[in-house]
Structure 1
Amino acid sequence: MLISFKSALKTAALCLFAWLSVPLAHAAGMVPQTPVLLVEEGMGEAVMNVRNTDTRPALLHTTVENIEDSDDVLLVFTPPIARVEPDGIQQVRFILQSQQPLKTERLKRVIFEGIQPASDAAGARVTLGVRQNLPVILRPAGLPVEREPWKRLTWSIDAAGVQVVNPSPYVVRLAKTIVPLPGTRSVNLPKTYILPGERLHVDFPLHASAQTMAVRIFPATTYGFAVDHYDSPVTR
């Protein structure tokens, strides 16, 4: 669906703001120290400090979710459950276990959730707090830091719309909104990240694709901070 350029800018800004505010959303419950967990293969592990901002003790429940169905890289963590006192900090340790050396960055999600015991006339029960869902990026040993990985994306136009390929070893984060140029109408990517080697396609009208010379994207850094838009040339 095509939307106006002004709406596109607003949508992109809201998306990037959401990335920034995820770990700090609702100043209550379990709050992670940083908005992204980076695990360096060269180090083999990483830690995340999580603070209990509630006024009562709670259990911190940690889980890790795979993004890629075929992901065989294990990220084990300890402790999976821990009691955290009010304003207390629990350190969660993440350990990388892989059969083969990483060749590209890998993306997972980690979820921190507070569980509080409660009781009422019906008996004992538990209350679930705010879930903090953060991206986890696994970085291969020896991979240089890339500050602008979105510049490595390749964009092309066909009769059905625009296609983007990520030939780099980096995970690219960006808003769903993209704007074919020249023009003031936008379309949406299916998600807010592009994995290494991944290919995405967005449909839009034939007359629009015939005129497109570049694509404007709204990228974000590894930590989710919004940066200036970037205009990438397209090939046919």
Structure 2
Amino acid sequence: MKFSYKIGLCSLAAFVLVALSNISHAAGMVPESTVVLVNVADGEGTMNVTNSDDKAMLLYTSLENLPEDQDSLLVVSPPVARVEAGEKQLVRFIVQSEQPITTQRLKRVTFEGIPQADPAAKAKIGVTVRQNLPVLISPGDLPKKQDPWTLLEWSLNGRDLAVKNDSRYVVRLNQAFSVMPADLKLELPASYILPGQTHHFELPAGTTLGADAKVRIYPATTYGFTTPPFDAPLKKQ
């Protein structure tokens, strides 16, 4: 699938705005931020979740692993909690790993509010709202970096375009990207590149790129907000 620069950037911006709108206005359980940050040196991360409904609800919190990373590194406490109307619940994400965590790791968390059953009420269909957010786990010795996408290595060998994340940071970005100035449209398999990952893309036959070729990407911050496009250098092998 191909995207223009305007569509690619706007789609990511729209996604973030919709996510923020859901967090701000959805009835039910509302997390205080768009991402859960866990520092291994602290042993845990936390998130306050508010019950914006006018009735008490049960808050269910569950973690999800990425297809590329199935290691279970965190324990949620509490996994289930009763939260009164308008009240907050502090959810802890406790680090529990058998091996040292040396790079950033990415997980997902779902917060779901379920109304408690009222035996006196007539049977009716209830609607629950889920909030699914990224969980970013960082080693204690890893310095904060606002632009980890600058560490990506892009290379071209014949028709094989490759991107390698040889850093310790998770890079979040729009899946759509372009090879400039040819304006060749390509797409990443996911909206993130994990530490140690390499992705390959086969360019169309007959593609000719000059010495000034660069890769234009559309990064996102830790909190999922869009940034200006970034033109990464393309190394020819």
Q: TM-score, normalised by structure 2?
A: 0.88
Shift in Å, 1:89: 0.5
Shift in Å, 1:46: 1.6
Post-superposition CA distance 1:179-221 (Å, at most 9, x none): 1100345222111000000112234423446357101111111
Shift in Å, 1:98: 1.3
Q: How far apart are the structure 2 equivalents of 1:224 and 1:57?
A: 30
Instruction: Give ranges in structure 1 of 5+ residues lacking alignment.
Output: none
Q: How far apart are the structure 2 equivalents of 1:233 and 1:5?
A: 18
The answer to whether the 8 A contact 1:2-1:204 is kept is no
Aligned-pair identity (%): 45
Instruction: Please state if 1:53 is matched with 2:52.
Output: yes
| Equivalence for 2:216 | 216
Number of residue-to-residue matches in the alignment: 235
Instruction: Give ranges in structure 2 of 5+ residues lacking alignment.
Output: none
Closer, same or farther: CA 57–234 of 1 in aligned 2, 3 Å? same
Closer, same or farther: CA 68–6 of 1 in aligned 2, 3 Å? closer
**2:141 partner amino acid:** G
| Equivalence for 2:111 | 112
Give the match's secondary structure for 1:24. Answer: helix
Closer, same or farther: CA 213–17 of 1 in aligned 2, 3 Å? farther
Give the match's secondary structure for 1:227. Answer: coil
Closer, same or farther: CA 183–5 of 1 in aligned 2, 3 Å? farther
Give the match's secondary structure for 1:14. Answer: helix
Closer, same or farther: CA 209–215 of 1 in aligned 2, 3 Å? farther
Q: How does 1:69-148 map to 2 (within 5 A)?
A: 70-118=69-117, 127-148=126-147
Computed over aligned residues only, the root mean square deviation of the Cα atoms, in angstroms, reads 2.6
Larger strand percent: 1
The answer to whether the 8 A contact 1:52-1:58 is kept is yes
Give the match's secondary structure for 2:161. Answer: strand
Q: How far apart are the structure 1 equivalents of 2:83 and 2:115?
A: 10
**1:99 partner amino acid:** E
| Equivalence for 1:63 | 62
**1:218 partner amino acid:** Y
Closer, same or farther: CA 125–208 of 1 in aligned 2, 3 Å? farther
Indicate the larger mover: 87-96 or 112-121: 112-121
Post-superposition CA distance 1:140-167 (Å, at most 9, x none): 1211111110000001124445221100
Q: How does 1:36-51 map to 2 (within 5 A)?
A: 36-51=35-50
Shift in Å, 1:26: 4.2
Q: How far apart are the structure 2 equivalents of 1:22 and 1:200?
A: 33
Shift in Å, 1:39: 0.8
Q: How far apart are the structure 2 equivalents of 1:40 and 1:126?
A: 40
Shift in Å, 1:60: 0.4
Closer, same or farther: CA 230–108 of 1 in aligned 2, 3 Å? same
